[in-house]
Amino acid sequence: MPPSTGTTSRTTSRSLLLRNRDFRLLWTGSTTGKYGASVTSVALPLVAVTMLHASTLQVGLLTGATWLPWLLIGLPAGAWVDRLPRRPVMLTADAAALLLFAGIPVAARLGLLSIGYLLATAVLVGTATVFFQTAYTALLPLLVAPEDQAEGNSKLHGSESAAQLAGYGSGGFLVQAIGAANGLFVNAATFAVSFLCVLRIKHREPAKPARTATTRRRGALAAEIRAGLRLTFGDPYLRAMAVCGGASNLALMAYQSILVVFLVREVHLASGTIGALMTGGGIGGIVGAFAARRLAARIGSARALLVFNLAVPCLALLIPLTSQGFGLVFFAIGYSSVSFGVVAGNVLSSTFRQQYCPAGMLGRISASASFLNYGTIPLGAVLGGALGEALGTRTALWITIAGIPAAAMLLWFSPIRRHRDLPTAPAATGTASRPEQVPAANQVP
């Protein structure tokens, strides 16, 4: 089904934000949510440390708990999202996250707060995030015309990067001004904004086909999950991007988990200097979001994807050379290059999946890739810590950062290298071109 009347094909040079009301609402809700998530990444660990005197291990478990649902329910969530209208799924997830985050300061005032309470909240919020993110990925192509999807992804990723920087910068101030627990009211408020924005989206998906006795049978969910996995890992383009994403996140989290320790213990930087460096380096992500489609138009989307994932991150190898004084330039260049490459690559890969994949299976394909992408994050954190402990942080940084462009070699040895542009539809003989193998209840929504 074509996009709703608010998402007509491009007939003007005006920004997509100005001419598409539904996209504007989705953009506002997403940007606000990313800001709140960044504030939470500062406030939640501070709640654990300052109010509950949590150990380093407990803080690490708290971080890992937010990603655990991707491993536990990421695959079935994709199948469930493909069965349901995406907008109500997003509304339910927003409402759940709002209540969960608002409950933390309330529990603190009632004397009920504990590490167990925070861990349970982190897992439940992570579960809501799985459903929201999967539904959000599948809804976006229904709100914008195909020729506008690159611009839409660029604006979403760019504004989300900016919101994250603002959240990191203001999170510490908010915690200092109103307290760590009360700072989570800010995140609850951002989910309220996101809820209202999604609620006001006018586009309505057509009713899903009635599920037959065959599709309701026991094991039908497993069959739908397997169908999503077959399309994701049976198609050479989708497989290369999914495996590369998992390997890249393993390396990214491995180096990020020891980066602050390196800057404090090896470079001897103050906390304020570290925050300024990381905030400044994160601007590379904003630049990357808006550079992605421009470079893709100039040299081709497939070639641009290789540049962003393979060539640009090589500059990250400057990070272990960081020292005080002029040596901080190495960090600024290296850290910015990682942000630039990751965000720009995400813009191109997101647009590719939205145009390339069967609409009725986009939820499962997204969840299958995310299962691998996000599932490596906690493993990367453990790997980085172990290498840092055994070899020292500077040596561990050399190893883990080298893994980022090394992971992108998976794209180099895929069919992507042989093309100027990424395909917009599967080949007639490709696995992804046979959606009729999917249970009938899960065809195009």
pLDDT digits (tens, 9 = 90+) for 325-343: 899 999 999 999 998 998 8
In this structure, is residue 105 part of a structural domain? yes
Regarding whether 292 and 238 lie in a shared domain, the answer is yes
* CATH number of the domain where residue 349 is located: 1.20.1250.20
Average pLDDT over residues 176-181: 76
At 129-153, the pLDDT tens digits run: 889 988 887 788 788 777 777 777 7
At 256-275, the pLDDT tens digits run: 877 877 887 888 887 567 76
Regarding whether 288 and 396 lie in a shared domain, the answer is yes
In this structure, is residue 434 part of a structural domain? no
Cα–Cα distance measured from residue 401 to residue 397, given in angstroms and rounded to the nearest whole number: 6
Regarding whether 165 and 25 lie in a shared domain, the answer is yes
In this structure, is residue 231 part of a structural domain? yes
Comparing CA positions, the residue from 379, 373, 378, 392 lying closest to residue 320 is 392
**Secondary structure of 144-168 in HEC code, one letter for each residue:** CCHHHHHHHHHHHHHHHHHHHHHHH
Q: What is the pLDDT of residue 282?
A: 74
In this structure, is residue 211 part of a structural domain? no
Whole-number percent of the chain with pLDDT over 90: 26
Least confident of 263-277, 383-397, 406-420: 263-277
Q: What is the pLDDT of residue 185?
A: 87
Regarding whether 169 and 231 lie in a shared domain, the answer is no
Average pLDDT over residues 91-101: 94
Regarding whether 364 and 292 lie in a shared domain, the answer is yes
Regarding whether 324 and 233 lie in a shared domain, the answer is yes
Regarding whether 413 and 340 lie in a shared domain, the answer is yes
- In residues, how long is the chain? 445
State which of 204, 235, 260 marks the end of a domain: 204
21-35, 45-59, 220-234, range with greatest mean pLDDT = 21-35
Q: What is the pLDDT of residue 270?
A: 76
Q: Residue 303 above 70 pLDDT?
A: yes
In this structure, is residue 132 part of a structural domain? yes
Say how many domains are in the chain: 2
Q: What is the pLDDT of residue 413?
A: 92
Cα–Cα distance measured from residue 114 to residue 371, given in angstroms and rounded to the nearest whole number: 29
- Give the HSE-up count for residue 141: Cα atoms under 13 Å, Cβ half-sphere: 23
Q: What is the pLDDT of residue 81?
A: 81
Q: Residue 441 above 70 pLDDT?
A: no
Confidence class of residue 429 from pLDDT cuts 50, 70 and 90? very low
Regarding whether 320 and 401 lie in a shared domain, the answer is yes
Confidence class of residue 31 from pLDDT cuts 50, 70 and 90? confident
Regarding whether 294 and 344 lie in a shared domain, the answer is yes
* 3-state class (DSSP) for residue 63: helix
Least confident of 168-182, 258-272, 313-327, 428-442: 428-442
Average pLDDT over residues 362-388: 79
Regarding whether 366 and 280 lie in a shared domain, the answer is yes
Regarding whether 327 and 240 lie in a shared domain, the answer is yes
Give the mean pLDDT of the chain: 80
In this structure, is residue 399 part of a structural domain? yes
Confidence class of residue 207 from pLDDT cuts 50, 70 and 90? low
Q: What is the pLDDT of residue 445?
A: 28
Could you give the C-alpha distances from 406 to 179, 231, 251, 307, in angstroms and in order? 42, 25, 9, 13
Domain hosting residue 30, numbered range: 18-204
- Give the HSE-up count for residue 178: Cα atoms under 13 Å, Cβ half-sphere: 12
Regarding whether 365 and 312 lie in a shared domain, the answer is yes
In this structure, is residue 213 part of a structural domain? no
Least confident of 59-63, 76-80, 231-235, 287-291: 59-63
In this structure, is residue 214 part of a structural domain? no
Cα–Cα distance measured from residue 44 to residue 63, given in angstroms and rounded to the nearest whole number: 9
